[in-house]
Amino acid sequence: MSCRLHRPTILPISALPTMRNALLCLATTLILSACGGSDDNEDNTVSSPSLPSNPPSSNTPDETEADTDWLPAGGSATITADISQPFLQIMPNLPSSALGGVSPGRELFITEWTPANQGRVLFDGVGPLFNANACTQCHSAEGRKPIYANDGELSDAILFRLGDKQGLAHAYYGEQMQHQSIDASIATEGKMRYIATVEDDKNSKSIRFNFTPTDPNQPLGDTAISGRISPQLVGMGLLNLIPDASIIAAADANDDNKDGISGRVHWVNEGVHERIGRFGWKAINSSLHTQNANAMSQDMGLTTSIFMDPNCTANQPICWTAANGGTPEVSDSSLDAVTDFMTALAVPERRVSNLSTFNQGANLFTQVGCAGCHTPKQKTGDSDRFPLLSQQTIYPYTDLLLHDMGAGLDDGVKEKNAESFEWRTPPLWGIGIVAQDSDARFLHDGRASSLTEAILWHGGEAEGAKTRFEQLSVEQKNILLSFLNGI
């Protein structure tokens, strides 16, 4: 077994060190050796329930055992899993030449942006309609922020995409609902609340959203509402570096191999170029650069050179007449700095208490069929900007492809070329850290309150894997869930 885990001093998002202090922190990084993220010299031969040689199901997937010769979860970007602040940390051994973008990018990421003309030239221009005025309002270093309150109220950690199955946005509200405005003189678009109803077959609650428009003359009509929770941000630069060829090679749009899985590439048009979408719940953005610019536009009402128009439709004149914070409001250098920061985000190492059981869970993950979409291992290409991220073996558990997830997860909203029932395979690394929080929610709209509930909502191409999971014994399910909690 290969055991190569770097354990650096972690730079918390709240620290905001100066460049000099950041360099000192990095210079004192400790390189230690460990296996699977554990400090214990435990006996990894503890007996565990034996696995079935053939999980019960027709259409049983290939039963080749999972690769359990584990390398660090995020290659050179791996850090010790600090449960108190596991995410939004900087990868170890970052050279001083890269700090020129990463440090100011982190400051831009955590800052609270203000409306135009309030004396903060570098950080102004938010709104006039928006969902959040800081990236950290939705993305936390601790995990995922709570979403649902007991009285139907919603936090800022969920936003709402609008549209229909043909991909048409709402004529007045556009592609996304904005529930905040820069001052009382500018009306918000409306108020969203939720209602939870019990789904007996899944032993969980389905979430339904109700919208009350500020202007009663602007109802949603037939436009569908899709809630989108804010995922944990981890290893983003590594996902950005997975070669296009690897994503294309994994696609099987016509299910030519007859395994029931027909993942496909989401080709998106960006300017005059057609590129592979890989970021967002429906893979609508092809790169971290575009993903960040899109979030600044739709979530914060900030213009960039990529999205120069305000995040409003032509039927909302306030966005076109209100003062702006520049043209664009976020300079190319600032957008590049945020992208540098996101690229440098580290991956928490696995948390493994018993290696034998962990390996059995990995085998179950493959045998049940989860690995058919949640591809355990990927390899990055080359990066001139961050050479440390080049040619790294990583374990994100995603193929970055679109998959038909069935009627239960059909949100009614088509985005670009992604149908309403299609979703990009979300990366699973760090998901067990998220699951430790009793308020954690899963799936695109947070309807699932546990990993088991999330699995039971799978349908479409994942129907077979869900069925095989349901047919496992209680012990086998616990082994599989323990594996998920450790990756």
pLDDT, mean over the chain: 88
Give 366's pLDDT tier (boundaries 50, 70, 90): very high
Q: Are strands 224-229 and 267-270 parallel, antiparallel or unpaired?
A: unpaired
Tell me the whole-structure pTM to 2 decimals: 0.86
Phi, psi of 424 (to 5 degrees): -70, 140
Query: CA 262, CA 272: separation in Å to the nearest integer?
Result: 28
140, pLDDT greater than 60: yes
Candidates 463, 380, 401, 464; CA nearest to 251 is: 401
Give 363's pLDDT tier (boundaries 50, 70, 90): very high
Query: CA 364, CA 379: separation in Å to the nearest integer?
Result: 23
Q: In the prediction, which pLDDT does 198 show? A: 73
Q: In the prediction, which pLDDT does 58 show? A: 42
Query: CA 448, CA 203: separation in Å to the nearest integer?
Result: 10
> Does any domain span residue 256?
no
> Does any domain span residue 388?
no
Output the 3-class SS for 33-72.
CCECCECCCCCCCCCCCCCCCCCCCCCCCCCCCCCCCCCC
Per-residue pLDDT tens digits for 399-413:
999 999 999 999 999
Give 14's pLDDT tier (boundaries 50, 70, 90): very low
CA distances (Å), origin 11, targets 18, 31, 88 = 12, 15, 9
> Does any domain span residue 214?
yes
Residue type, 195: I
Q: How many distinct structural domains can be found in the chain?
A: 1
Residue 378, strand partner residues: 394
> Does any domain span residue 215?
yes
Average pLDDT over residues 340-354: 97
Per-residue pLDDT tens digits for 65-91:
888 899 999 999 999 988 788 999 999
> Does any domain span residue 153?
yes
Cβ(214)–Cβ(227) under 8 Å?
A: no
Per-residue pLDDT tens digits for 171-206:
999 999 999 999 999 999 999 999 988 766 655 667
CA distances (Å), origin 440, targets 61, 151, 193, 433 = 31, 17, 18, 10
Which of 15-19, 125-129, 220-224, 403-407 shows the lowest per-residue confidence on average (mean pLDDT)? 15-19
State the sign of the Cα–Cα–Cα–Cα dihedral 17, 18, 19, 20: negative
Burial of residue 377, with CB atoms counted within 10 A of its CB: 0-12 exposed, 13-18 middle, 19 or more buried: middle
Q: In the prediction, which pLDDT does 1 show? A: 41
Provide the percentage of residues in the chain whose pLDDT is more than 90: 78
Q: In the prediction, which pLDDT does 271 show? A: 85
Q: Are strands 422-424 and 129-130 parallel, antiparallel or unpaired?
A: unpaired
Per-residue pLDDT tens digits for 428-479:
999 999 999 988 999 999 999 999 999 999 999 999 999 999 999 999 999 9
Cβ(147)–Cβ(441) under 8 Å?
A: yes
421, pLDDT greater than 70: yes
241, pLDDT greater than 60: yes
SS3 label, residue 463 = helix
CB atoms within 10 A of CB 407: 9
Give 25's pLDDT tier (boundaries 50, 70, 90): very low
Query: CA 245, CA 338: separation in Å to the nearest integer?
Result: 27
Q: In the prediction, which pLDDT does 64 show? A: 65
DSSP letter string over 425-462?
----TTHHHHHTSTT--BSTT--BSSHHHHHHT--GGG
> Does any domain span residue 91?
no
Give 391's pLDDT tier (boundaries 50, 70, 90): very high
Stated as kind and residue range, the H or E segment containing 377 is: none
Average pLDDT over residues 318-323: 92
What angle do the packed helices 288-300 and 332-343 form, to 10 degrees? 110
> Does any domain span residue 26?
no
Query: CA 391, CA 420: separation in Å to the nearest integer?
Result: 35
Provide the percentage of residues in the chain whose pLDDT is more than 70: 85
Q: In the prediction, which pLDDT does 67 show? A: 82
- Lookup result for tokens 């120069």: 308
205/304: higher pLDDT:
304
Give 250's pLDDT tier (boundaries 50, 70, 90): very high
347/145: higher pLDDT:
347
Q: Give the pair of three-digit tokens for residue 157.
A: 């950690």
Which of 92-96, 174-178, 282-286, 465-469 shows the lowest per-residue confidence on average (mean pLDDT)? 92-96
Its domain, for residue 221, covers 104-241+291-338
> Does any domain span residue 296?
yes
SS3 label, residue 278 = coil
